[in-house]
Amino acid sequence: MAKQTERLEIRITADELKTLELYCQLVDLNKSDVLREYIQSLKKKIKKMNSNV
């Protein structure tokens, strides 16, 4: 994995935070790891969208 040098700060609702925290508990990952995995999944979506153009 590449060195993690960038920082991201977001504002979310209390309900969104509860959802994220519950998901993290279910998959036994921290919030950063869950969000990193989601961002990585976007690469696949982008490739698929580009191949449909």
Name the pTM for this structure: 0.82
Residue 52: its pLDDT value, please? 83
DSSP, collapsed to helix, strand or coil, labels residue 12 as coil
Within-domain flag for 33: yes
Number of domains in the chain: 1
Residue 45: its pLDDT value, please? 94
Residue 53: its pLDDT value, please? 73
Within-domain flag for 27: yes
Within-domain flag for 18: yes
Residue 28: its pLDDT value, please? 99
Within-domain flag for 23: yes
Q: Which residues of the chain have pLDDT under 50?
A: none
Domain that holds residue 39: 14-51
The tally of CA atoms less than 13 A away on the side-chain side of residue 37 is 10
Residue 37: its pLDDT value, please? 97
Within-domain flag for 4: no
Q: String of b and e for 20-41 (b: at least 16 CB within 10 Å)?
A: eeeebeeeeeeeeeeeeeeeee
In Å, how far from its chain's centre is CA 49?
19
Within-domain flag for 9: no
Residue 2: its pLDDT value, please? 85
Q: What does the alpha-carbon distance between residue 32 and residue 17 come to, in Å, rounded to a whole number?
A: 13
